[in-house]
């Protein structure tokens, strides 16, 4: 892996367990996982990702595929295709790997890679997909505070309203 080439940090789903094993072999003991759509990456996302990385030795981001985003957010999303979203995330220094997943929720991916720490935004406090798997392995779940004023849906809504096009899904 070339840390200067963001593409090298985009890990095919089938290779994710081996990637985690390599990180552990390098001495990374606290693997952190978070997930999301990360459509139109903004300051709230970046703050959240840096906080997630501070919880351990390596940060793996599960990225909802285009099909998954459409299922969760509606037919007009994502704005940015998965390859572009993955590349932007991988370019961040705090991100050690990006894995795209097709399911609506990341529970199966979490079970496959076995992170030590699972981070989600505090707005997910009522339900964190994969919580049981992580805690059963002795790991922990961290709820990160939300940065006020940043929401991809709100940004899209403001753009569309400015252009006279209505709301976002």
The domain segmentation of the chain, as residue ranges, is: 10-162
Predicted confidence (pLDDT) at residue 37 exceeds the cutoff of 70:
yes
DSSP labels for the chain? --TT-GGGGB--GGGHHHHHHHHHHTT---EEEEEE---S--HHHHHHHHHHHTTSSEEEEEEE-HHHHHHHH-TT--SS-HHHHHHHHHTSTT--EEEEE-SSSSHHHHHHH--SEEEEEGGGTT--TTHHHHHHTT-EEEEEPP-TT--HHHHHHHHHHHTT-----
For the segment 62-89, the average pLDDT, to the nearest whole number, is 96
Q: What is the pLDDT of residue 13?
A: 98
Query: Please, which pLDDT band fits residue 58 given cuts at 50, 70 and 90?
Result: very high
Query: Please, which pLDDT band fits residue 1 given cuts at 50, 70 and 90?
Result: low
For the segment 26-41, the average pLDDT, to the nearest whole number, is 95
Q: What is the pLDDT of residue 163?
A: 87
Summary mean pLDDT of the chain: 92
For the segment 23-36, the average pLDDT, to the nearest whole number, is 97
Task: Note the pLDDT tens digit of each residue in 76-129.
Answer: 999 999 999 999 999 999 999 999 999 999 999 999 999 999 999 888 778 999
Q: What is the pLDDT of residue 167?
A: 56
- Looking at domain 10-162, its CATH class is alpha beta
Predicted confidence (pLDDT) at residue 28 exceeds the cutoff of 70:
yes
Least confident of 19-33, 84-98, 101-115, 155-169: 155-169
């Amino acid at each position: 892996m070339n840390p200067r080439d963001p593409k090298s940090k985009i890990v095919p789903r089938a290779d994710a367990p081996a990637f985690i094993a390599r990180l552990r072999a390098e001495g990374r003991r606290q693997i952190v996982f978070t997930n999301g759509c990360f459509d139109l990456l903004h300051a709230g996302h970046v703050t959240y990702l840096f906080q997630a990385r501070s919880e351990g030795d390596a940060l793996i981001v599960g990225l909802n595929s285009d099909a998954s985003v459409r299922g969760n957010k509606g037919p007009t999303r994502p704005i940015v295709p998965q390859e572009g979203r993955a590349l932007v995330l991988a370019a961040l220094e705090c991100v050690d790997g990006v894995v795209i997943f097709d399911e609506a929720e990341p529970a199966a991916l979490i079970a496959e890679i076995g992170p030590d720490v699972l981070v989600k935004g505090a707005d997910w406090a009522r339900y964190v997909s994969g919580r049981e798997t992580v805690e059963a392995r002795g790991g922990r779940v961290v709820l990160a505070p939300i940065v006020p004023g940043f929401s991809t849906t709100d940004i899209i809504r403001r753009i569309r309203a400015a252009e006279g096009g209505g709301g976002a899904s």
